[in-house]
Amino acid sequence: EVQLLESGGGLVQPGGSLRLSCAASGFTFSSYAMSWVRQAPGKGLEWVSAISGSGGSTYYADSVKGRFTISRDNSKNTLYLQMNSLRAEDTAVYYCAKVILVWQQLAGPLPGYMDVWGKGTTVTVSS
């Protein structure tokens, strides 16, 4: 069974740092791109970051660019999100998700959708 389990959330002061982890099992981790999506309290889903299967390509939403770093350790089947300079507006449940690439004519493989999601970990930024 494919499973994703996030950890590392907690309470942190504004300006602080936190590292989230996502342990994957049940599939060949290195063969898949992965993503982080967050959901602020009472709000909708917001894509945060994505990384290729090899880890060689990374992508970020403008709202976190320069502050967050996505990475992965394929030997440990684990995805990470290093979050620095945290702000109150970063308060959210953070989900990791497995990405399926879809072949598009003329464009090649593109991030199609997220087929498996973890249960999420809560990050609260407050003094």
Partner 1 sequence: QSALTQPASVSGSPGQSITISCTGTSSDVGSYNLVSWYQQHPGKAPKLMIYEGSKRPSGVSNRFSGSKSGNTASLTISGLQAEDEADYYCCSYAGSSTHWVFGGGTKLTVL
- Residue 27 interacts with partner 1 (CB under 8 A): yes or no: no
Closest by Cα among 55, 49, 54 to 71? 55
Binding residue for partner 1, selected from 61, 71, 84, 124, defined by CB under 8 A: 61
Shorter beta-carbon distance to partner 1: residue 12 or 118:
118
Angle at 112 between CA 45 and CA 52, to 5 degrees: 90
Q: Is 114 in the site for partner 1 (CB under 8 A)?
A: yes
Nearer to partner 1, 76 or 119 (CB): 119
Sole window of 10-18, 21-29, 70-78, 106-114 interacting with partner 1 (rule: CB under 8 A)? 106-114
15 vs 45, beta carbon nearer partner 1: 45
| Residue 44 is a binding residue for partner 1 (CB under 8 A) | yes
DSSP 109-121: EEEEEEEEE---E
Q: What are the residues facing 91 on neighbouring strands?
A: none
Judge contact between 50 and 35, C-beta under 8 A. Answer: yes
